[in-house]
Structure 1
Amino acid sequence: MTTAWAGIPFGGDYNPEQWPRDVWAEDVKLMGHAGVDLVTVGVFSWALLQPTPDTWDFGWLDDVLDGLLAAGVQVDLATATASPPPWLTRAHPEMLPVTEDGTTLWPGGRQAYCPSSPVYREHALALCRQMATRYAEHPAVVLWHVSNEIGCHNALCYCDTSAAAFRGWLRGRYGDLETLNDAWGTAFWSQRYGDWDEILPPRVTPATANPTQRLDFQRFSSDELLGLFTAERDVLHELSPGIPVTTNFMVSEHIRQMDYFRWGREVDIVSNDHYLIAADPWNHQELAFSADLTRGIAGGRPWLLMETSTSAVNWQPRNVAKRPGELRRAALGHLARGGDGILFFQWRASRAGAEKFHSGLVPHAGTDTRLWREVCELGALLDRLDEVAGAVSHNDVAILFDWESWWASELDSHPSVDVQYLAQARDLHRALVDRGVGVDVVHPSADLAAYRLVVVPTLYLVTDEHAASIAAAAEAGATVLVTYFSGIVDERDHVRLGGYPGAFRDLLGVVTEEFTPLREGERVHLDDGGVGRIWAEDLRLEGAEAVASYSDGPVPGAPAITRRAVGEGAAWYVATHLTESSAGTLVDRLLDEAQVSAVAPTGPGVEVVRRVGDEGRSWDFVINHTDQPVTLPMAGHDLVTDEAVGPMLRVDAGGVAVVRSD
């Protein structure tokens, strides 16, 4: 990514407007002590910058930026449009978002606006112009930050303004009502539209809503939010050319409304917010998947971690604090997978407001704390790791991921509520990471030519073009693994007829006559010793060979895992959701067939990730999440300890290493 800084920046959201001015001098002094060199400023300051419709107050922000500049701290300056001020929503209540059941969401939190509201956009762009005009030449500003976590709380709005915008989007997609009626299958349940004005967002209905209508509303809503970003970005490019523009994505398992592959093409730098799920004792696995996916969104280029937490967050049911060493392990997990910058929310833990129990770089208890000492240690470590900046990943394995397929696969009235889009992808990613294998998580449209193993998990919705690309990868020599409930529908959510798995039937050499999903908690056993859950299929071979068959369950004797030789490669199919150990056994076989090697031999709880730089340099990140020391065959210079290591590397329980090899 093109940046105005060198190395790995360290810092976070800085909200001095929440504190008396006499705290500001202490802030910059402590930033220097901790090694902070980049902070995000102004995210939620609209009401202070524009206290009334006709007045502006930038004096305090001028002082903040000047103070940071004097201290050598660079600024990611927010456009402050993330949350409209009370005077605006009071004057224009029609701009407030509305839920699918007609409930208006009122001010008092944040993001109290409809993404389609022309009133909101007019005022947001006016503020954006004011910010860009005033600060385009300020030497502290090295990055523009549009809004904040766009769509976090208001991604789907069902108001009349949104309805009109949705109809306009549909006209652009389909052109005429005949085409729309065909795409939506409106002959079913007497839903045929004879006038564009008859079309509404998928509000609460007496029975299951039209699935393609719901899918299109997801697409529209993602595009509408993206339009807010690009409108501000274009103003910033016009008035402050040369300063890159970003907005913070939320690539995680609990945010699903934005198609970030589309968004990734529109930002100058991909940045992401990520928070560990405290309830998950193996939450580093979700972090690894999110970071690999974020790198995929960035087209393989490095990206910026815009927000994470030093310890507990404020919004989970049980806000568990990070234990000693966890802060460093999590930070290096992102850095290992391309996060060229580690920023936190926020600099100083708030004393008031909804996020007052959210951890900060400076905790409520101050600097005589374990957390502050770990913050300072992390800042010093990241300085030693500056040389890693710009390095990339060269991996032989790709997992395909698509937001549209995620949306479509979890619509109502499907064969089993237990089928969750992320589950299969996460399970297979975990099995690969546990074996020390690097993974790229990419869109189905990505160039697959460089991969030896291509994993296609639960790709329920797939276009003809993407299905052909996956088949071509197998023809060219890749081992392709397709899992259950893939290839079932086209982009209109219409079932591909002729037998499942639809788009992949010929590639895989199988035909499924009927799905036979399992009851809650039920297991099915395979004749190779494997165990499946959630799903089974009444499947027959049409050119493939059976690798394993069901020995019990709904269809005993039917093939459960199949393989077909394809060109120079092979296509595998798994017609159940394998348990963790069974999935691991399959992954071992696939890696062997595809001749994919690990960075270093490892096991569950120990990550080994490689980044590659120019002139043959590489850096191997070793992150030990277990309570036992590990020893790996690895030689070079460990940047964590600043010592030569090899031929064996020992990493203590809960420890980390970053080994440079020339």
Structure 2
Amino acid sequence: MTLPMCSATQRSVMPELSGPTSRPIVWPLAGSIAYGGDYNPEQWPREVWDEDVTLMRQAGVNLVSVGIFSWAMLETEEGVFDFAWLDELLDLLHSNGIAVDLGTPTVSPPAWFFAAYPDSRVIDADGVVKGFGSRGMASHASPEYRDAIVRIAGVLAARYADHPAVVLWHVHNEYGVPVAEDFSPRAVASWQAWLQERYGSLDALNAAWGTAFWGQRFARWEHVVAPAATPSTGNPSMKLDWARFTDDQLRECFRLERDAIRARAPQPITTNFMAHQSWNTDLWKWAQEVDIVSDDHYLWSPDPEAHVALALSADLTRSVARGRPWMLLEHSTSAVNWQGRNIAKRPGEMQRNALTHLGRGADAIMFFQWRASRSGAEKFHSAMLPHAGTSSRVFREVTELGAHLALLGEVQDSRVQADVAVLYDWESMWAQDLEWRPSDALTFRERMRTYYERLWRDGVPVDFAHPADDLSGYKLVVAPASYLLTEEAGANLTAFVAGGGTLLVSCFAAAVDEHDTVHAGGFGAPLKDGLGLTVEEYRPLREGDVVAVVSADGEELTSRDWTEDLALAGAQPWATYGAAPAGGPLEGTPAVTRHTHGAGTGWYVGTTLDVAALAPVLAAVYADAGVTPAPTPDGVEVMVRHGASASYVVAVNHNETDAIVPVTGTDLLTEQAVDGELTLPAGAVAVVRTAPVRPGTAENFGGPLSSEELAGLSDAALAGS
């Protein structure tokens, strides 16, 4: 049944939805880099809209996200809709050549919804009911909320499926932010049903959770509580499953809206992830549900080199998209408003951030938001059109970026390729960062950033991968934080080594299985064959203590926070703890090991080395793997995207001094020829078209590709799995 087209204000009853439809995915604005941001015209008088679209055209904007927080204006009472303003807005944008990413406003239900359904409010782990006035306030387990989101998504899709401005649907906003967990009675009932489906019996659940410990055994399903606040730390296996359940609840709500749209509208559907910045969503699973992967990224002000974390998030987003182009749906032109100290971006930093995302696979560069809000919680958040207006530095840079992106349409749909994979598993993060681990200094994100930064500084392109992925297309696999590793994933990594790959594993790896239960056989047991060792004991250090680690060629490195007592089973020491007292109680025992297994090599780093101390380790690992690093001057990023007829070298200089980048081709931003060396001014960016190049070689970033190699740059080949 098809929904009727609603008049400007009309009561409509939501019919039952049909299932998802199969249709080809058309990339929004194919042949162009999408540029724009969230547009919230409902915050402004009608006369401002005309000024907005004029300035958008001046700035080069070709896509805006609309309607994300507009539920109260679209459904003014339950079942009563007012689309007059949105009709006018979409027509205005289309007549000015600006396409629309149309949002469903379900992150922020109206006041009338909570007045009618007070049981749909979120309850936190301490039993506090969360009130109205923020966003993300509704319980995802609430049947009334679920009915309401299906209704509004379906009505919007029916009305605007054929509107020429609409090229993309944007469901909800940043799932899991700011609220993911809900401990309401409805959520607990859903949790109990989820567990029954997962385990089938209470005996299986009790075994998985180890409830014999502390007398936690459950005898009836209705007694299975949620992991709310407890007198001491709670059951970690329960908490890990709770994280999975919470993720599944969020994803169920997304699917409800997605399918309501798919039943009526042909455009692709996305939702904005927050790769490496949101804790609650397993993006390997989420990416399978969207038509196009998109991400929001915001610099973390306390990090003086936040551009490294930006690169990590961009590579991770591309990887969950399995190598296909993705969309940056939000980042900031300057400061945000929600950190302790909100640092403004330096001149040119916005463009450097944008081009880094582009260089790592993004085909859309979008911001929050177009015009800065005068009221509300985000009035101090930067925007494309700031409070200072068009005479501001920010708006001049916005316009310059738009002009540059307009020159880069040919880059769209080219791909990034890497010989190195970094393992990333949200479930392992959830488990590792629970309470009562051997040391709170050893966190998933810290290890991930440290190893990624070493690769970044060495100029080594990376994909991210799940431990269970097919890794055979990579030369080197790095596992910075694989605390949770299943037997199956361990066998996969061992087979990768046996088949000729090089595996580098950091400390505290393979400690537990999917239930957060220590492996039979002890710490590291699933990787014993591939690494040639297990771990007898974790020996974290006191805060401030350091130990010396001496490599095979006598180089002395410094370690802090963490050491391990390794039991070798074929592995050979590559580095050992130094002589006492500098080496600590593990004097002379292995700290870093190398093991030949089958046709490949497994490396293990049983201590926490920082970015600098990892350099000699990685140099030896690269030699084993046949990976050639291509380091650039410190603070200079060089990225390569590969197309069928050309490749594109994207260079970004984060320094305050000029840099030289070796490349030959044409700079698309200046239309100047580059003959072997590109002078990149301080703080500048460049995009150089070169002949098609073979990744992984040094000269001109690779030699010409053969026709067979060009054919290999397919979605499947670039996915890395």
Bin the TM-score by the shorter chain. Answer: over 0.9
Q: Is the 8 A contact 2:191 2:245 kept in 1?
A: yes
Amino acid at match of 1:44: F
For 2:561, the equivalent position in structure 1 comes to: 534
TM-fit CA distance, 1:601:
3.6
For 2:209, the equivalent position in structure 1 comes to: 184
Q: Is the 8 A contact 2:633 2:659 kept in 1?
A: no
Per-residue deviation, residues 464-505 of structure 1 (Å, max 9, x unmatched)? 221111111111211100111111111011101323222112
**One of 61, 72, 77 as aligned partner of 2:97:** 72
Deviates more, 1:399-408 or 1:431-440: 431-440
For 1:588, the equivalent position in structure 2 comes to: 619
TM-fit CA distance, 1:352:
0.7
Q: Distance in 1 between matches of 2:522 and 2:81?
A: 64
Deviates more, 1:441-450 or 1:559-568: 441-450
Per-residue deviation, residues 188-241 of structure 1 (Å, max 9, x unmatched)? 11111111000111011111100010000000000100011111001111011x
Q: Distance in 1 between matches of 2:243 and 2:26?
A: 32
Q: Distance in 1 between matches of 2:499 and 2:641?
A: 26
Q: Distance in 2 between matches of 1:160 and 1:119?
A: 14
For 1:640, the equivalent position in structure 2 comes to: 669
Q: Does 1:608 align with 2:638?
A: yes
Q: Distance in 2 between matches of 1:346 and 1:519?
A: 45
Q: Is the 8 A contact 2:577 2:587 kept in 1?
A: yes
Amino acid at match of 2:574: V
TM-fit CA distance, 1:55:
2.0
For 2:497, the equivalent position in structure 1 comes to: 474
For 2:697, the equivalent position in structure 1 comes to: none
Q: Does 1:657 align with 2:686?
A: yes
**One of 388, 395, 403 as aligned partner of 2:426:** 403
Could you tell me the percent identity over the aligned residues?
A: 48
Per-residue deviation, residues 38-81 of structure 1 (Å, max 9, x unmatched)? 00000000001111124211000000000001000000001111
Q: Distance in 1 between matches of 2:181 and 2:188?
A: 11
Q: Classify the secondary structure of the residue corresponding to 1:374.
A: helix
Q: Does 1:333 align with 2:361?
A: no
TM-fit CA distance, 1:554:
2.9
TM-fit CA distance, 1:284:
0.2
Per-residue deviation, residues 616-657 of structure 1 (Å, max 9, x unmatched)? x21111111111211122111111222110211111111111
Q: Is the 8 A contact 1:452 1:479 kept in 2?
A: yes
> Which segments of 5 or more consecutive residues in structure 2 lack a partner in the other structure?
1-24, 692-721
Q: Classify the secondary structure of the residue corresponding to 1:530.
A: strand
Q: Is the 8 A contact 1:33 1:376 kept in 2?
A: yes
TM-fit CA distance, 1:244:
0.2
**One of 125, 130, 149 as aligned partner of 1:124:** 149
**One of 400, 412, 435 as aligned partner of 1:389:** 412
Q: Distance in 2 between matches of 1:646 and 1:592?
A: 30
Amino acid at match of 1:638: D
Amino acid at match of 2:273: F
Amino acid at match of 1:574: V
Q: Is the 8 A contact 1:454 1:481 kept in 2?
A: yes
**One of 588, 605, 608 as aligned partner of 1:574:** 605
TM-fit CA distance, 1:538:
1.2
Per-residue deviation, residues 440-480 of structure 1 (Å, max 9, x unmatched)? 11211222111111001120111122111111111121110
Q: Does 1:562 align with 2:593?
A: yes
For 2:394, the equivalent position in structure 1 comes to: 371
TM-fit CA distance, 1:281:
1.1
For 1:622, the equivalent position in structure 2 comes to: 651
Q: Distance in 2 between matches of 1:499 and 1:491?
A: 15
Q: Is the 8 A contact 2:36 2:370 kept in 1?
A: yes
TM-fit CA distance, 1:379:
0.3
Q: Distance in 2 between matches of 1:554 and 1:224?
A: 48
Alignment of 1:126-165 (within 5 A): 126-165=151-190
For 1:313, the equivalent position in structure 2 comes to: 336
Q: Is the 8 A contact 2:510 2:524 kept in 1?
A: yes
Q: Is the 8 A contact 1:540 1:558 kept in 2?
A: no
Per-residue deviation, residues 529-573 of structure 1 (Å, max 9, x unmatched)? 111111101113210100000111231111000000122210000
Amino acid at match of 1:457: P
Q: Does 1:252 align with 2:276?
A: yes
Q: Does 1:35 align with 2:60?
A: yes
TM-fit CA distance, 1:394:
1.3
For 1:4, the equivalent position in structure 2 comes to: 28
Amino acid at match of 2:451: L
For 2:267, the equivalent position in structure 1 comes to: 243
Q: Distance in 2 between matches of 1:2 and 1:394?
A: 23
TM-fit CA distance, 1:511:
2.5
Q: Classify the secondary structure of the residue corresponding to 1:230.
A: helix
Q: Classify the secondary structure of the residue corresponding to 2:123.
A: coil
Amino acid at match of 2:641: R
Instruction: Give the alignment's Cα RMSD to 1 decimal.
Output: 1.1
Amino acid at match of 1:307: E
Q: Is the 8 A contact 1:404 1:461 kept in 2?
A: yes
Q: Is the 8 A contact 2:370 2:385 kept in 1?
A: yes
Q: Is the 8 A contact 1:14 1:41 kept in 2?
A: yes
For 1:350, the equivalent position in structure 2 comes to: 373
Length-normalised TM-score, structure 1: 0.98
Amino acid at match of 1:292: D
Per-residue deviation, residues 98-123 of structure 1 (Å, max 9, x unmatched)? 11010111001111101111111111
TM-fit CA distance, 1:593:
2.1
Q: Distance in 2 between matches of 1:53 and 1:633?
A: 62
Q: Is the 8 A contact 1:296 1:443 kept in 2?
A: no
Q: Distance in 2 between matches of 1:203 and 1:214?
A: 9
Per-residue deviation, residues 353-402 of structure 1 (Å, max 9, x unmatched)? 11111111101010011111100000011111111111111111100000
Aligned residue pairs, count: 658
